[in-house]
Amino acid sequence: MVEEKSKPKRIGLLTSGGDAPGMNAAIRAVVRAGIFHGLEVYGIYSGYRGLIEDDIVPMKEQSVSGIINHGGTILRAGRCEEFKTEEGMALAEKNCRKHNLDALVIIGGDGSFRGGLEFYNLHAVNTIGVPASIDNDIAGTDASIGFDTAVNTAMVCVDKLRDTAEAHERIFVVEVMGRASGAIAIDVAVACGAEGILVPEVEMDIPALCKTLQVGKERGKNSFIVIVAEGATSAFHVAREIEERLGRETRVLVLGHLQRGGPPTAHDREMASKMGAYAVDLLLAGKNTRMVGIQSGKMVDHHLSHAWEERAPFDEQSLLLAKRLAI
């Protein structure tokens, strides 16, 4: 059941957890949609830490001018252990009262939403969540802010790596982000025509991978790209196994936090704008402790707990496609 409160007059806005390209577009949408509807919007810097330390400032239309094409977040992001304590939340609630904030919009992942729900349970501050995670591991939305950009960033890097792999007839193992989700790895593998892929959702089978590479070599293929999600195993471990089994020089590229940066794609900008504006719509409708999502092209909302109580669907069909096309 959706809990309801009176419509807010002044809302606080923060970005929390890991940064994701498109967060700035979501910030811009919340600020401008809020002002359009006559609300006051306050920016909270450095996530929940800013709420505890009173790093809170009013935002106007011009506060978000020229940011839609920038990666990162102008409000800065991070994790705050102190906010997980009752003492920390009490300080945060005190600052909400100081600035007369009667609602929060939190742009982040399921960990950020957990904090927002706990804060509501203790201090009844209305909270709306906007999903932003390059891992695309948040249930209740087809995609989260930053995922498309991360995939495209990794794709460009792998495309460039393919050139040198072919020139030197080498095997490259590329590690992409994804602690518990192989979403980035799968999309990159399909888009780049990778010859191998390892993801945390499926048990690792190095012998089968090496057999695929060996069959490709016998058919005249001289270079290979293997994509590994960081949550599956270490790319260096995979490279050592390949070298020992096939006797071929194998190099490693770990893309790491490179995938978090850079200008967001058009898809991420548009999606973040829709989600940010919809978060304001939910507040105006009296909705509480809800998470914004987009499913089958339509705006939806779920209880914040949906983000971690349910699992984001695993794209097994695309994984099978990547493997079928790797022959």
What would the CATH number be for the domain defined by 10-146+264-309?
A: 3.40.50.450
Which pLDDT band, with edges at 50, 70 and 90, does 78 fall under? confident
What confidence score (pLDDT) does residue 326 get? 87
Rounded distance, CA 109 to CA 41, Å?
21
Backbone φ and ψ of 254, nearest 5°: -105, 110
Q: What is the mean pLDDT of residues 206-214?
A: 95
Q: What is the pLDDT of residues 132-156, one digit of tens each?
A: 999 999 999 999 999 999 999 999 9
Cα separation, 10 vs 18, in Å, equals 26
Q: Let me know if the fold of 10-146+264-309 is the same as that of 148-261.
A: yes
Q: Which architecture, in CATH terms, is 148-261?
A: 3-Layer(aba) Sandwich (3.40)
Give the residue numbers marked as catalytic.
135
Tell me the mean pLDDT in the region 300-305.
98
pLDDT at residue 312 greater than cutoff 70: yes
Q: What is the pLDDT of residue 3?
A: 45
Nearest to 284 by CA among 47, 73, 37, 35: 37
Beta strands in 152-282 (DSSP E): 171-176, 196-198, 224-229, 250-254
Rounded CA gap, 298 and 300, in Å? 6
Residue 2 has pLDDT above 70, yes or no: no
The pLDDT of residue 250: 96
pLDDT of residue 327: 79
Q: Are strands 196-198 and 290-295 parallel, antiparallel or unpaired?
A: unpaired
Burial class (CB in 10 A: 0-12, 13-18, 19+), 313: exposed
Domain residue extents for the chain: 10-146+264-309, 148-261
pLDDT in tens, 96-133: 999 999 999 999 999 999 999 999 999 999 999 999 99
Residue type, 99: H
How would DSSP label each residue in 76-110? -----GGGGSHHHHHHHHHHHHHTT--EEEEEE-H
Q: What is the largest CA-CA distance in the chain?
A: 71
The residue-averaged pLDDT of 75-96 equals: 95
Q: Are 153 and 177 in contact (CB under 8 A)?
A: no
pLDDT band at 1, cuts 50/70/90?
very low
Give backbone dihedrals phi and psi of 4, rounded to 5 degrees, phi first.
-125, 150
